[in-house]
């Protein structure tokens, strides 16, 4: 527990803490660019330098351990000048124009430059080669803006265990990107956008659909409908300065109407529908194995998260049969909006334009998959990230914070609390258990407030076992069976689960995987910068939304009953298979 002083103020820190952490403990702000809390501290950008009495040179506070008796100065003339030099050198290479950059007002380099009072770049020199890679549906890389902080490399390799991005060459010539100068679409990138979520500048951003959506809203021949994923309502407010964890469901609906969306629906509706289809799929697999003694692919994996789907297609194709065949709620929505709802309003599928608002960049890729056109045309036409919706609301001059709450339209709008929790790790599993347990036993899931505590929270891999007793006659073959489930978030953690399953170390019946840390609330399309504190606040907001609903189990959603009664006929039936289920493809890694 070393004791040191920073700017003359004493502080005691935990063993191993860095000077940066010690300064934060005192509320002293040290600028950072390459540092990424609990993920990367490499001292590469040097903007966090501080002066330590007795040290020959300035030290990078993000990597220098705090030591007993150390005297640190974070705001000396020498420090200020060094930081300014660092930023001016970065700006001298940075081939970007703030006014026209996607990240204007959301750029850490811009902010640090402003906060350091830089009004002129002293250095003149060659700019980094402008090399734009727009090959994927989800993200765009612009190397000219890259400041080589390696945050994207850290999340892609350490957190997601995907390894699509690497630093190549050295010094000024360093390029961050896929190996051998390839484009992202030729390597095993799952398009999760975690790189875009951590990039401090505009070097990796989402592939924007903003103009596409504005154009559709102006098109008189199109009926434009919008769906919003559950994770968006717990984060959109951050785009407008509202505290992290503020629920803005009603304001979001009001803003969407003011943008010109004639019909505002909710992805939550098809999240409830997913639970019916995926829950019955799981039960039918269990029936095959336990009752009929026939083979069925267990564990069943959830299939809501398109980055995870692509990860399995690349890295674990032998487990494709284990993926639920259910489309994600986004794609189920597109399919029923252009068939069931289109018929209700007397439109053809091609006359409907479906816009999604997602906390995710991989949803852009998913919408463009060739399998996703069961209505006869592309089921989802445009996908906005939470950040893009925030920008559109600003473009329209809407005073978001002062909007009065509005409610979504029927019939693809109503949802239960089970749908809300699709937004966070453990949520899809909990929602499925709320329904499956009740189907099997006729009783409510026996957990306090319906929350399955062992699978909640930010632990990377979570497990639970539930022994089924008191079954109804139709499901009596499951009497006494212990169902083992696992939940993982972040593909690095997913990889750990897959290795355990593959080696036989673990045996599960049902596994939920969400691509991004924390689940969709921490998605690649969410307002940045996300850390565990932000994730916890958003998750708490989602649980509040769930607990505030009168109906909290997907099978209680009256509009879900309606769509089966009017249109789908039955879960896993012919129409469901055509519209709500899909197939997957083995992908070559390079």
Partner 1 sequence: MAKILIVDDDHDLIEATTAVLEGNGHKVLSAFTGADGYNVAKNEKPDLILLDVMMEHDSVGFEIARALHEDANTKGLPVILITGIRKAKNLPFKFEPDEDWLPVTVVLEKPVTPELLLESVNQALKK
Q: Is 448 a catalytic residue?
A: no
Task: Give the integer Cα–Cα distance in Å for 31 and 227.
Answer: 38
Residue 340 Cβ vs partner 1, minimum distance, rounded to whole Å: 12
Q: Which of 560, 579, 580, 582 binds partner 1 (CB under 8 A)?
A: 560
Closer to partner 1 at the Cβ: 396 or 472? 472
Contact between 558 and partner 1 (CB under 8 A)? yes
Please select the residue that binds partner 1; options are 2, 65, 460, 571, rule is CB under 8 A. Answer: 571
CB of 275 to partner 1, least distance (A): 9
Q: How far is CA 70 from CA 25, 47, 160, 185, in A?
A: 16, 20, 37, 49
Q: In whole angstroms, what is the distance from residue 279 CA to residue 285 CA?
A: 10
Of 21, 51, 206, 366, which one is the catalytic site residue? 366
Place of tokens 């499901």: 475
Residue 555 in the binding site for partner 1 (CB under 8 A): yes
Q: Which stretch binds partner 1 (CB under 8 A): 81-89, 207-215, 276-284, 513-521?
A: 276-284
Tokens of 407: 């409610």
CA distance 225 to 518: 29
Is residue 42 within the footprint of partner 1 (CB under 8 A)? no
x-marked contacts with partner 1 along 461-480 as a string, rule CB under 8 A: -------------x------
Minimum Å distance from CB 438 to partner 1?
8
Near partner 1 by CB under 8 A: residue from 104, 166, 564, 587: 564
CA 103, CA 100: separation in Å to the nearest integer? 8
Minimum Å gap between C-beta 273 and partner 1 is 12
The active-site residue out of 21, 108, 238, 278 is 278
Given the residues 371, 406, 438, 463, the one annotated as active site: 371
Reduced to 3 states (helix: H, G, I; strand: E, B; else coil), residue 51 is strand
Are 150 and 168 in contact by the 8 Å Cβ rule? The answer is no
Q: Is 296 in the site for partner 1 (CB under 8 A)?
A: no
307 secondary structure, DSSP code: H
**Per CB under 8 A, does 433 bind partner 1?**
no
CB of 569 to partner 1, least distance (A): 6
Q: What are phi and psi of 176, to 5 degrees?
A: -100, 120
Pick the catalytic residue: 21, 51, 281, 313? 281
Pair 392, 240: CB distance under 8 Å: no
Tokens representing 284 are 């039918």
Residue 27 within binding range of partner 1, rule CB under 8 A = no
Residues 173, 506: contact at Cβ < 8 Å? Answer: no
Stretch that binds partner 1, among 107-115, 366-374, 418-426, 431-439 (CB under 8 A): 431-439
Q: Interface with partner 1 includes 407 (CB under 8 A)?
A: no
Q: Is 108 marked active-site?
A: no
Residue (130 or 569) nearer to partner 1, CB: 569
> Residue 194 contacts by C-beta under 8 Å, 6 or more apart in sequence?
152, 155, 156, 159, 160, 516, 517, 524
Which of residues 143, 223, 339, 435 is near partner 1 by CB under 8 A? Answer: 435
Largest CA-CA distance found in the chain, in angstroms, rounded: 80
Whole-angstrom Cα distance, residue 36 to residue 534? 14
Strand 132-133 vs strand 204-206: parallel, antiparallel, or unpaired?
Answer: unpaired
* Cα distance between residue 334 and residue 6, in whole Å: 56
Give the integer Cα–Cα distance in Å for 44 and 59.
Answer: 11
Residue from 156, 304, 360, 516 carrying the catalytic annotation: 304
> Is there binding between residue 438 and partner 1 (CB under 8 A)?
yes
Applying CB under 8 A, among 123, 343, 566, 590 the residue interacting with partner 1 is: 566
Q: Does 450 bind partner 1 (CB under 8 A)?
A: no
List CB contacts of 426: < 8 A, sequence separation 6 or more.
452, 455, 456, 457, 462, 487, 512, 519
Q: Which residues bind partner 1 (CB under 8 A)?
A: 276, 279-280, 410-411, 435, 438-439, 474, 555-556, 558, 560-562, 564-566, 569-573
């Amino acid at each position: 527990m070393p004791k040191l002083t920073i700017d003359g103020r004493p502080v005691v820190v935990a063993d191993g803490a860095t000077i940066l952490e010690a300064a934060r403990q005192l509320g002293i702000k040290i600028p950072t660019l390459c540092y990424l809390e609990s993920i990367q501290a490499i001292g590469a950008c040097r903007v966090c330098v501080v002066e330590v009495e007795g040290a020959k040179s300035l030290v990078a506070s993000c990597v220098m351990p705090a030591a007993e008796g150390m005297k640190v100065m974070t705001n000396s003339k020498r420090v200020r000048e060094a930081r300014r030099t660092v930023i001016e050198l970065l700006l001298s290479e940075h081939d970007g124009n703030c006014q026209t950059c996607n990240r204007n007002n959301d750029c850490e380099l811009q902010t640090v430059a402003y906060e350091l009072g830089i009004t002129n770049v002293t250095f003149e020199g060659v700019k980094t080669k402008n090399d734009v890679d727009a090959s994927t549906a989800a993200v765009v890389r612009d190397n000219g803006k890259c400041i080589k902080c390696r945050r994207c490399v850290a999340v892609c390799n350490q957190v997601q265990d995907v390894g699509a991005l690497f630093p190549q060459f050295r010094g000024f010539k360093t390029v961050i990107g896929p190996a051998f100068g390839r484009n992202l679409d030729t390597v095993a990138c799952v398009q999760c956008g975690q790189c875009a979520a951590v990039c401090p500048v505009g070097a990796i951003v989402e592939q924007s659909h903003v103009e596409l959506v504005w154009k559709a809203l102006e098109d008189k021949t199109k009926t434009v409908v919008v769906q919003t994923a559950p994770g968006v309502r717990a984060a959109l407010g951050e785009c407008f300065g509202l505290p992290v964890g503020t629920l803005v469901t009603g304001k979001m609906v009001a803003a969407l109407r003011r943008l010109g969306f004639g019909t505002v629906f909710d992805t939550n509706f098809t999240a409830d529908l997913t639970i019916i289809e995926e829950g019955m799929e799981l039960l039918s697999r269990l029936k095959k194995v336990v009752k009929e003694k026939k083979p069925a692919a267990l564990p069943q994996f959830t299939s809501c998260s398109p980055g995870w789907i692509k990860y399995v297609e690349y890295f674990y194709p032998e487990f494709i049969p284990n993926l639920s065949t259910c489309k994600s709620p986004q794609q189920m929505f597109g399919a029923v909006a252009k068939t069931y709802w289109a018929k209700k309003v007397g439109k053809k599928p091609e006359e409907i334009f479906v816009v999604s608002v997602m906390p995710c960049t991989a949803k852009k890729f998913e919408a463009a998959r060739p399998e996703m056109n069961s209505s006869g045309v592309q089921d989802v036409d445009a996908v906005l990230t939470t950040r893009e919706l925030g920008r559109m609301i600003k473009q329209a001059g809407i005073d978001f914070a002062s909007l009065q709450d509005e409610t979504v339209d029927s019939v693809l709008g109503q949802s239960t609390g089970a749908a809300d929790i699709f937004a966070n790790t453990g949520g899809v599993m909990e929602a499925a258990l709320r329904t499956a347990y009740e189907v099997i036993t006729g009783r409510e899931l026996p957990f306090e407030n319906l929350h399955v505590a062992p699978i909640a929270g930010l632990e990377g891999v979570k497990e639970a076992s539930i022994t089924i007793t008191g079954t109804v006659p139709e499901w009596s073959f499951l009497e006494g069976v212990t169902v083992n489930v696992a939940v993982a978030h972040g593909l690095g953690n997913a990889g750990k689960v897959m290795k355990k399953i593959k080696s036989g170390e673990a045996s599960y019946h049902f596994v939920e995987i969400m691509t991004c840390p924390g689940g969709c609330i921490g998605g690649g399309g969410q307002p940045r910068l996300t850390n565990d504190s932000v994730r916890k606040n958003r998750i708490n907001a989602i649980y509040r939304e769930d607990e505030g609903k009168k109906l909290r189990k997907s099978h209680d959603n009256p509009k879900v009953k309606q769509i089966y009664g009017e249109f789908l006929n039955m879960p896993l039936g012919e129409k469901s298979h055509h519209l709500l289920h899909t197939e997957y493809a083995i992908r070559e890694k390079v």
